[in-house]
Amino acid sequence: MSLHPLNNQHVVIVGGSSGIGLATGTLAKQLGADVTLISREATKLKQVATQLGGVRLAIADFADEAAIHAAFADLPTIHHVYVAAGGFVGGNVLEGSMADFRRAIDTRLWGSVHVVRAAVPKMNGTGSLTFTGGLSTDRPVAGAWATAVATAAAEQLARALALELAPLRVNAVSPGWTDTPMWDNILGAEKQTVFSGVATQVPVKRLSLATEVAQAVIFLMNSATVTGEVLHVDSGHRLV
């Protein structure tokens, strides 16, 4: 394999200012790609630009169709797109905020569709799209039904579009508990205690790093005959 398997290829990461998206953009750049990072977090994007150097930036809210189309409008030919945007939304189905529930599903499903409609005309029928599902598809938990539905939608979208957009390849990565800033915001000071407890339950006895999920995304970009697949990076959690 080439030391730079993404040389002369344009990789677009939506949700690329932190976590798995940033890790994927960083790795893609190391592998020779021309990288565009899209995020609604302008301040974080500027910090990333300083950190990585030589990446293209665009500011857009994933759920805003017009903003996503504007972000893609002036981009050169695209070879691979990774949709990393999406987060955890909790709440009891009988009592939680409908606006929050809609946001969870809108982000993963309709946000991904916005990206598809903006990106595919620039892909010349080749390359790959990768969406982000999650452990909650196979292991839903009480109080997080909207997140489970959203991750399942993203994974099913990959299977359906692998047929509709062929020969363009479409896949999804399904992370388990992964050490990213999202969990800092959700769990706060309890994060390490919760993560340590979960690690004792999974077969490999540790949780994934963002860089390890990024490696799975790069694998899907580079594997020319893999399409319609969901690649699990969850420490075997869905098995126990």
Mean pLDDT per 10-residue segment, the chain (240 residues) = 81 94 96 95 88 92 93 97 87 92 90 97 96 95 93 97 98 92 81 91 94 97 97 95
Is 171 inside a domain boundary?
Answer: yes
- Please, are residues 193 and 162 in contact by the beta-carbon 8 Å criterion? no
How many CB atoms are closer than 10 A to CB 219? Answer: 15
- Please, are residues 58 and 71 in contact by the beta-carbon 8 Å criterion? yes
Is 196 inside a domain boundary?
Answer: yes
Token pair of 108 as six digits: 């993963």
Is 128 inside a domain boundary?
Answer: yes
Which residues, including other chains, have CB under 8 Å from residue 108's CB and lie 6 or more apart?
A: 86, 131, 132, 150, 151, 153, 154
Sign of CA dihedral 118, 231, 134, 159: positive
Is 18 inside a domain boundary?
Answer: yes
Give the range of the structural domain holding residue 41, as residue numbers without chain letter: 10-232
Is 17 inside a domain boundary?
Answer: yes
Least Cα distance to 6 among 80, 70, 82, 105 occurs for 80
Question: What is residue 2's predicted lDDT score, i.e. its pLDDT?
Answer: 59
**The CATH number of the domain where 184 resides is what?**
3.40.50.720
Is 178 inside a domain boundary?
Answer: yes
What global pTM score does this model have? 0.93
Is 2 inside a domain boundary?
Answer: no
Cα atoms in the 13 Å half-sphere on the side-chain side of 70 = 12
Token pair of 238 as six digits: 């869905």
Is 240 inside a domain boundary?
Answer: no
Which secondary structure element, helix H or strand E, spans residue 186, and what is its range?
A: helix 181-187
Number of domains in the chain: 1
